[in-house]
Amino acid sequence: MNVNFSEDELAFRDEVRSFLDEKYPADIRAKQASGIALDKDDTVRWQRILYERGWAAVNWPVEYGGTGWSAIQKYIFANEMAAANAPDMIPFGVKMVAPVIYTFGNEEQKSRFLPDILQSNVWWCQGYSEPGAGSDLASLKTRADRHGDYYVVNGTKTWTTLGHYADWIFCLVRTSSDVARRQEGISFLLVDMSTPGVTVKPIITIEGEREVNEVHLENVEVPLENLVGEEGKGWTYGKVLLQHERTNIAGVARSKYRLNRLREKAAQAEHGGSPLLEDRNFVRRLAAIEIELKALEYTELRTLAAVAVGKAPGPESSILKVKGTETQQAIDALFVDAAGYYALPYVPAQYQADFPPAEKIGSGTETLTSLRYFNNRKASIYGGSNEIQKNIISKHVLGL
């Protein structure tokens, strides 16, 4: 995408590059390059480095610690972060629950929760999906019954990403069943994960990692002051959160980085063969993804511009989510093709820091490609399945 940057914007780009050169820790950079999973301490350390620079909450209002950046500055920052292969911010606190708190929460909740989110002192997770309520989220059954100064919460949340690290969980819960529409009886509640009755059980994903969890809540007492906004309005607040989440899921800058890496790999002739860039079918597929990605960038810039003037992402967030995740999965498929038979074997130990380099299989992280491919099939489901997003687009954009 050709964006004509002003002198000030070019200076900002250089500032971001200098910051990454100086402050991006070498050990985290090495892990990212080698495909070694970051632990919680790595992630929090990096997020605090961004906080100290004032860059932890790109989209927050300035009065709560946001950057006040223009849409172009946000675009530049995202692209430079991706080009350096720097870790993404964990979204659940900064990008998801914080916008709900500073938009709909009271002043006490803002002063209580926002500073710790900004400084990465507290790790959040999301409590939306349930075993019987995923895309049809309005059918959720986790209840919060009021008893004096507390809600007593009972139910189960599932697919809770990184919930085993979390200090707090934000939940959609049913506070009333006596309503005309199921959505009207849902409230937005903040729950301390250390409260008696909260149990976290792992769900092991296809690559053998503990990424997601089930969270069971049994007679969990939650103070009334942890209700965000009005009782029964949680569906409205939750939709705002999901719009922010879907915008972030698009991952345009990260896809550009991966596509560039793929092009570099395809230009190499390995093991006496011809470069993949000489394969016309492969090049055709690569070009098709590049075109889709450039179109997606324009939509992302329009959305960033709307957020910059105080608007919540609209149906554009659904477009970004659908096309962004489809593009990510298409890139995954091309990486598997490029890796060839090296995508077949997988030895988990080889991605530990102390594994002998000479014993690595293939070159780089090729043996991770198939696992990433399979794991990332979920991208078109989380944050609201792409089928549901198409319904939203047809209703709000096309008026169908």
pLDDT tens for residues 28-81? Answer: 999 888 777 889 999 999 999 999 999 999 989 999 999 999 888 988 999 999
* Most confident segment among 119-128, 252-261, 276-285: 119-128
If one counts every other C-beta atom within 10 angstroms of the C-beta of residue 171, the result is 29
CATH fold, domain 124-232, is Butyryl-CoA Dehydrogenase, subunit A; domain 2 (2.40.110)
pLDDT score of 209 more than 90: no
d(CA 299, CA 307): 13
Reduce the DSSP state of residue 199 to 3 states and report it. Answer: strand
Element (H, E) at 238: helix 234-249
**Domain ranges in the chain?**
7-89, 124-232, 250-396
pLDDT score of 360 more than 60: no
Longest Cα separation, the chain: 75
* Average pLDDT value over all residues in the chain: 87
User: Which amino acid would we find at residue 350?
Assistant: Q
Q: Read off the pLDDT band of 271 (50, 70, 90).
A: low
Question: What does the block give as tokens for 8?
Answer: 């000030």
Element (H, E) at 396: helix 386-396
d(CA 100, CA 201): 27
The answer to whether domain 250-396 has CATH 2.40.50.140 is no
How confident is the model at residue 353, as a pLDDT? Answer: 54
pTM: 0.84
- Half-sphere exposure (Cβ direction) of 303: Cα atoms closer than 13 Å: 26
How confident is the model at residue 363, as a pLDDT? Answer: 42
Q: Read off the pLDDT band of 307 (50, 70, 90).
A: low
